[in-house]
Structure formats: C-alpha cells, structure tokens
Amino acid sequence: MTPSAIACAVGGGLILAEALLLRMVRRERTVWPELVFNLNSGHILMWAFRGVEIAVYAAVFAHLNLHWVDRLPRMAQWIFALFAWDLCFYWRHRTHHRFGLLWAVHIVHHQGEHFNLSLCNRNSWYASLTDLPFIGVLAVLGLPLDIYVAVSSFHYAVQFFNHSGLVRSPGVLDRFLVTPRYHRVHHRAEPQFFNRNFGGTFLLWDKFFRTFTPPDDGHVHARYGVDGIENSRNPLRATHEPLLRLVGVRWPDVERCPSARASAAFVTTGALLLYGLLICWLNTQHGAHPDPRWMLMGCTLAGTIALGAHCDGKRWALPTWCSLAFAVPVVLHGDRTVSDAVPAAVLVLFAIHGVFGIIQFARSVASPSRLPQR
C-alpha cells in the first residue's frame, strides 16, 4: 500500500475506535450522521488537491528557488522545516479566520458540533488549495520537496491527535505542544473563545503572538460549532454554501422528506464503503505523476454527495444512492484501469448495500421510519 493509503486506513480505524471507546468509557452518544460527514467531507477531492498543492510546491521550488535553505547541512534543513512549516501554518490558520473568502473555506471545519478525531477530517474540498500562498514561501526559500512532504505529514499527524475527544491532557506535552486540551478552546462556540489558539503543533506561536487562551477545564457543557448557517451533511452544499453566501447568493434548496431517511447503521456502512473506495484510490497514486483514475474518483465523489444529501433528508438522495450502489460494481469492474485496484468483495458489498437501500426506501414510503439523530 502507498503511504497515503496506509495513513487513511489507520486514521479511519482510529476514528472508529475512539467513537467506540467514548461510548463505552464515557457513555457519550455517537452522532453517526456527523461522523459520516466528517469522514466524507473533504474526501477524495481534498486528497486530489493535496496532490495539486505538492505539484505547485515542486514547480515553485524548481523555478523560483533562492537556495537559502537547500545550501544548509541536511540536519539544519530538517530543523528549519520543523519550525518554519508550523509558523506558516499558524499564519495560514489565523488569516483564514480574518478574511471572508478564506473563512468561507475554513468554516466547514468549525461547523462540527462534537469534538473528536473525526473532526480533523472535516474540511472543505478546497482546503489544500488555500495553503498555497503560505507554504509557497518555503519553496522560494529552498526547502527541498521531500523534506516538505515529510514534515507536513508529521504536523498533520499531530493535528489529527489534537482533535482527540478521548484524551483530556497528555501530561508533560501540554507544556510545549498544542494538545487536545488547548485545541478544544479554538473550536468552542462561545464568544470569549473566538479567534484564539491558532497553533498547529508548537505552543510557542500563540504565546509569542498573544493569541493564547488557557483552557476552561472546569466547564463541563462546552459548545462547539458555528451559529448562523445550517450544518448540512452534504459535502457539496457544505463546501459551496459559505462561498455563495459571501457573494449574496442563497443555496438552492428543495423540499425535504425526513421520512425517507434510512437508519444510522445504513448510512454508516455506506460511508465505510466509500471510505474503502478512497483508500483504493489512494493506493493507485504512485510517483510524481499519479494516474487520477477518473472513473473511481467520480464514483466515490458522487457517492459522498448522494449519501450526504440523504442525511439532509432530500427526496432524491436515497434512490440516487441505491442506483450508484448497483452501478459502482458494474462500472468499476468494467473499467480495466481500476478493476484491479478495487477488491471484488468491496464491489459485492456495494451491490448488497443497494439492495438494503431499496428495502429501506420501500419501508419509508409505506410508513415513516425513525430518523437518525442529527
């Protein structure tokens, strides 16, 4: 498996394990529609744009390089990268909270109403593209591409941990790193916590630039999320509605049919199948010039939109999902470029899921079913 596929698989496993432990240890209810959205929000397009980000970085490094960093000893390059990338992230993050266009992209991440590992995956499709003006500085200074990719991956792993809902405080790490204890403050919905604690890995940037706020450990009923905009479960809507609102355009809404929603178990298993397709796609991305595998990408993207719209209660979503569930095995098995990339068992499970979807839809038409909790 490719490193990206391994990271995605491990991350998904940890998210599900944490949800199970939170339920067993702390009796916290798992809000499956939100967790499903978090897994599928940025999903395949965000990973694809991560590839664009790296390609642009490589181009800038090749043509606009001042050679200040790549002349240093290799160890000095690594040390520089470790701190410089985190400083760039701090200002990237702080700027996203200040300017309307960037906030319209970043707001998707803050709409999550429950603080757990899945929240780290919750992003706009375009999140990676907005990184370019900030990380491009490192390419101009001459930070080699291999070090940039490795160090950025390390920092993203730390940020994944920072969203843990299970870890209260990791002890000594609280003294110099951004931990879940501090990052919870950043996601709080109460006004006194707005625009605080922007750091990604190291605590020193917030303290140096005076944006640090200590955690309110005694407050039991913390509130997360963003007021004033609907928390859609459809990644297509969640990504684009804030951008449309920025220019005064309302998202075109249609009548909802709450009784057409299937069970939370059905939605969750569908999301896991889509997550499996994402891992399969990532496993096909090798080398500097990866093959986009458009058919696999398209099926995965269409599935995330249909399943998300179903969670929003759209009438068309469940029949569309069922159609996709039957089409995916046929289309992918018939495409020679991806037939060897997706295990046959996954394709069979999609078809089975489509059958259950038809049963769920028939039951919802006959009599309203119990809704999955939002």
pLDDT tens digits, one per residue of 232-267: 888 999 999 999 999 999 888 765 665 556 678 888
Q: Of all residues in the chain, what percent are helix, strand and coil, respectively (each to 5)?
A: 65, 0, 35
Least trusted range by pLDDT, from 200-214, 260-274, 282-296, 331-345: 282-296
Residue 302 covered by a domain: yes
pLDDT at 262: 63
Residue 226 covered by a domain: yes
Whether 242 and 305 share a structural domain:
no
What span, in angstroms and rounded, lies between the C-alpha atoms of 352 and 350?
5
Percent of the chain at pLDDT exceeding 90: 61
Confidence of residue 286 (pLDDT cuts 50, 70, 90): confident
Handedness of CA 310, 315, 320, 326 (dihedral sign): positive
Residue 32 covered by a domain: no
pLDDT in tens, 210-233: 999 998 876 667 899 998 887 888
pLDDT at 367: 63
pLDDT at 162: 95
Whether 58 and 108 share a structural domain:
yes
Whether 73 and 153 share a structural domain:
yes
Whether 198 and 90 share a structural domain:
yes
Please say whether the beta carbons of 353 and 347 come within 8 A.
no
Whether 303 and 327 share a structural domain:
yes
- 320-334: average pLDDT: 90
Using alpha carbons, select from 327, 370, 317 the residue that is nearest to residue 351.
Answer: 327
Whether 220 and 275 share a structural domain:
no
Confidence of residue 90 (pLDDT cuts 50, 70, 90): very high
Q: Which of 246, 277, 306 is the last residue of a domain?
A: 246
Q: What is the mean pLDDT of the chain?
A: 89
pLDDT at 150: 95
Q: Which of 246, 271, 293 is the last residue of a domain?
A: 246
Whether 134 and 279 share a structural domain:
no
Residue 57 covered by a domain: yes
In the block, tokens 């992230």 appear at: 89
How many Å is the Cα radius of gyration of the chain?
21
In the block, tokens 């940890």 appear at: 14
pLDDT at 292: 67
pLDDT at 287: 62
Residue 10 covered by a domain: no
pLDDT at 283: 87
Query: Domain count of the chain?
Result: 2
pLDDT at 216: 82
Least trusted range by pLDDT, from 20-24, 124-128, 314-318: 314-318
pLDDT at 108: 95
pLDDT at 257: 61
Count of other CB atoms within 10 angstroms of residue 140: 15
Whether 55 and 184 share a structural domain:
yes
pLDDT at 366: 73
Residue 25 covered by a domain: no
Q: What domain range is 52 assigned to? A: 45-246
Residue 276 covered by a domain: yes
pLDDT reading at 349 higher than 80? yes
Whether 138 and 264 share a structural domain:
no
Whether 156 and 50 share a structural domain:
yes
Whether 162 and 105 share a structural domain:
yes
Whether 236 and 304 share a structural domain:
no
Residue 33 covered by a domain: no
Question: Position 49: which residue type?
Answer: F
Please say whether the beta carbons of 280 and 44 come within 8 A.
no
- 61 contacts: CB under 8 Å, gap ≥ 6: 139, 142, 143, 144, 145
| Phi and psi angles of residue 96, each rounded to the nearest 5 degrees, phi first | -65, -25
- 147-159: average pLDDT: 95
pTM comes to 0.89
Q: Per DSSP, which regions of the chain are E strands?
A: none
Q: Which of 225, 246, 267 is the last residue of a domain?
A: 246
